[in-house]
């Protein structure tokens, strides 16, 4: 399966480095730089098309991003962002101050509003659910996309927080159909 992942465009909370998680935050007004980034990614998507399926999480920021790209999408709850629990609406630095070593080196042992193990299981369920498709486009979230990259490259999500995925990043992965043995 080939999967192209686009992280949603920035929100005001992204700009403030606040953790959004499951909070349903709208996109910020777009800048000329973001419009240019959308145009560049759209050219890349044209080369990757056609997509058998276009998906977005249940949160409006992913649907708004898909609309700005000109895509109608289906909603998929497995794509929802990590639930950061009490850290949602707080600066990322507060999470780092409390859990830095665990967050970076062994996140699977971390439980926030949701365990990272559960996030990994959602990634695995997503792969299983869509493995028969050959080319899909996903509008998603930073932690989920990093978890997918880590899982596809290392077989688990423990490397996810060593990966950087900026807003509006466009990443294509070729997933092996037998990732989970």
Give the CATH number, domain containing residue 15. 3.40.50.1240
Q: Domain for residue 64, yes or no?
A: yes
CB neighbours of 46 closer than 8 A, spacing ≥ 6? Answer: none
Put simply, whether the predicted model's pTM sits higher than 0.85 gets the answer yes
Query: Which residues span the domain enclosing 70?
Result: 8-136+143-174
- Mean pLDDT per 10-residue segment, the chain (181 residues): 97 97 97 97 97 98 98 97 98 97 96 97 97 97 98 96 98 76 41
- Measure the CA–CA gap between 127 and 180, rounded to whole angstroms: 10
CB neighbours of 87 closer than 8 A, spacing ≥ 6? Answer: 19, 21, 94, 95, 112, 113
Q: Pairing state of beta strands 53-56 and 2-7? A: unpaired
Give how far Cα 46 sits from Cα of 30, 39, 133, 138, Å. 22, 11, 18, 15
Angle at 147 between CA 123 and CA 120, to 5 degrees: 40
Q: Domain for residue 1, yes or no?
A: no
Tally the domains of the chain. Answer: 1
Residue 70 tokens read as 């000109």
pLDDT value, residue 179: 54
Classified as helix, coil or strand, 9 is coil
Q: Domain for residue 127, yes or no?
A: yes
pLDDT value, residue 181: 41
pLDDT value, residue 176: 76
């Amino acid at each position: 399966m080939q999967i192209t992942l686009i992280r949603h465009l920035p929100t005001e909370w992204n700009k403030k480095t606040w953790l959004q998680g499951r909070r349903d935050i709208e996109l910020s007004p777009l800048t000329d730089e973001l419009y240019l980034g959308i145009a560049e990614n759209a050219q890349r998507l044209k080369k990757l098309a056609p997509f058998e399926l276009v998906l977005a999480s249940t949160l409006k920021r992913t649907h708004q991003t898909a609309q700005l790209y000109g895509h109608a999408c289906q909603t998929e709850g497995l794509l929802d962002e990590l639930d950061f629990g009490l850290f949602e609406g707080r600066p990322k630095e507060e999470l780092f101050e409390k859990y830095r070593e665990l967050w970076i080196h062994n996140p699977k042992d971390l439980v926030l509003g949701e365990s990272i193990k559960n996030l990994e299981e959602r990634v695995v369920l997503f792969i299983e659910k869509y493995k028969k498709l050959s080319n899909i486009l996903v509008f998603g979230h930073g932690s989920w996309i990093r978890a997918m990259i880590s899982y596809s490259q290392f077989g688990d999500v423990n490397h996810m927080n060593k990966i950087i995925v900026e807003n509006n990043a466009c990443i294509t992965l070729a997933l092996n159909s037998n990732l989970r043995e």
